[in-house]
Amino acid sequence: MNSSARIITHAFLLLLLFVISPVKAQQTTASWSRGQLIANAREIMSAARYGALITLDSSGRPQARTVDPFAPDEHMQIWIGTNPRSRKVAEIRRNRRVTLYYFDRDSEAYVSISGTARLVNEPKEKAKRWKEEWKDFYPDRAKDYVLIVVTPEKLELVNVKKGIVGDPVTWKPPSVVFTRARKRKSNN
């Protein structure tokens, strides 16, 4: 095969790849159940370990900072320890709507969770949710440490290696809407 024919063949194969891949991805994504998406989200969050907590400052601008959250509980609530005098605490007091973002480079995967945050300063909860490696950051746990619990309303995720990808046209990722959020909205 001469070089012109090889180039045309390669170009045709690349074109097929771009035409077939989105169709295959869309079919693959549709086959994931709510439980499977949540299980995959847990895996991504665990692999990523650190996340970004995004709050809104007093002028409405998003502010992101790295956090070391606990694994999500059975309701997918995420607990985070922080300094009660931090900007994120002040921002949550003004506006409880937050987003948590996790990225796992190795899996080409991410999870984004939007929801509401609540500050918890109960000694029992603080004792339960503690990481020994934090002792230098919070020398007096009673006054230097507070918890943020994020209750999810919506979870979005992509995991390229597992075929969980967004819509090929809009890139809208697969998502899970949590029923607690729907019930709360309908009661307001």
- Examine residue 125 and state whether it is found in any structural domain, yes or no: yes
Indicate the pLDDT class of residue 5, thresholds 50, 70 and 90.
very low
Q: What is the pTM of this model?
A: 0.79
- Examine residue 79 and state whether it is found in any structural domain, yes or no: yes
- Examine residue 39 and state whether it is found in any structural domain, yes or no: yes
Dist. CA 81–CA 131, nearest whole Å: 9
- Examine residue 143 and state whether it is found in any structural domain, yes or no: yes
Count of domains forming the chain? 1
Token output for 40: 């995959």
CATH code at position 121: 2.30.110.10
Under 8 Å between Cβ of 123 and 71: no
State pLDDT tens for residues 157-169.
Answer: 999 999 999 999 9
Under 8 Å between Cβ of 120 and 101: no
| Boundaries of domain holding 123 | 32-187
Sole residue written with tokens 């095969």? 1
Token output for 93: 């007091």
Sole residue written with tokens 């996790």? 102
